[in-house]
Every structure is written in C-alpha cells, then in structure tokens.
Amino acid sequence: MKLKKIASLALAGIMAVSMLAGCKDGGNGNSGSSSSEQTTATGIVATVDKAIKDYNSGLTVTVKESGVMNTRLEKLFKDHVYSELIDDNYKLIEEDMESVFNATNWKEVDSTSFLEKTYNLEMNANAGIYHAWMVLPVEKVSSATAQVKAANAIAEAFDGVKNTFASNVSGKDKTFNNTYTLYVSQLNATKPGDSSVPVVVAVLEVKMEAKL
C-alpha cells in the first residue's frame, strides 16, 4: 500500500535545520552518546522537545538521543570536513544514518514538513514504518543559536501533524494512529582555517497503525 492514498497527510512547512528523518527500529542500541557529545546532545534534545510542545501542544513526539547515532556521526564529522559532508547532497550523512537505523526508501524532503512527502513512500512491509530525510546546515551562527534555530525549524515542520487521524483507503474508512520518535544530535563540521559550522541531525521514526 502506498501512503499517498492518505491525502490528509499532505502538510506544509519550511525547514531550516540539518536533519535526517526516518528509520526502522528507532534506536539500534540507545545506550547513550560518547562523552564528547553528551552535553551538547542533551541540550538539543531539551530544546527541540520544548519547541515542539510550544508549537504543537496537541502532538506527542518523543525526543531523545541514540548512542549509536551519536557515535557514528562523531566519527563521520571527525573523519570528514564540511565540504565533504555536504558533497553530493549530504550523501555521507545519509548513508551513515541508513546504516544506523537500517532504513530503506529514504526520500529527500526539500522545503517541506516532515510528513508532506511521506504520503507517497512505500510502506515498510514488515512494520508500517515510514522514512523521509532532509539536510540543511545552520551556518554563520554560534552553536547555541544554531540549537534554537534548529529546534524552531523542527517544531515548524510538525505543523498540522497529528497522532490520530481518519482517512478512506481503498473504499474503507480507517483510523490511523501514528507514533513519532525523534532522535537528535548536534555537532560541528570543520572548515578550512579552523572554523566550523553547527549541524543538527535529526532522525524521525514514524510508526503507523491502521484500524478499521
């Protein structure tokens, strides 16, 4: 079944944050990040969580860290400079997160909300989990400012998103219950001259359960 049959998921929103959205099992070992990123990552989790609640108080999204995600990103950002990370539409980040979350059918979401593009993705055959991704650095600002900008952009991306909604699929009225888990991490990508660019990476897990 293609999620495009659910017209009610066609949402709008503008993103201004480095982010990837989508995964299979949501943690793959959420045992906590390494010490080098623990403080920053904890800060971004709290900031994003508050922004989402302020922007869409009726929506439930669990915001948390993934230790495996943090560790992989730390290594990736250590081994590659900013120009390499953004090359080929952030291919290195995309491939790393696909591997971490065992995700399939990643789709780029460009200048739209998290969920606007997921309606035309193939359903994961064994779980009803959907993926989309988006990457955009927050440049020329401090890490603290980037954190706030990223959090607000993430919150805006959830505009109109609901946990429960009704739709007609193949002539049958169904109620869909969505569970959202958002994994976030903040890092700094290095540039020539010892400068850096704050980057927030977010992975959204959308689990859908349909009921007649």
pLDDT at site 112: 47
pTM: 0.72
Residue 157: what are its φ and ψ, rounded to 5°? -65, -20
Q: Give the domain range for residue 203.
A: 3-211
| Type of residue at 153 | A
Q: CA geometry: angle at 113 spanning 111 and 114, to 5°?
A: 120
Spell out the per-residue pLDDT of the chain, length 212, in tens: 333 322 232 222 223 234 444 444 444 444 333 333 443 445 999 999 999 999 988 999 999 999 999 999 999 999 999 999 989 878 898 888 888 887 765 555 444 455 544 333 333 333 466 656 656 578 888 888 988 988 888 888 887 778 887 766 666 677 778 888 888 989 999 998 878 998 888 888 778 776 65
CA distances from 179 to 11, 169, 176, 205 (A): 17, 20, 10, 8
- Give the count of domains, the chain: 1
CA distance 171 to 187: 47
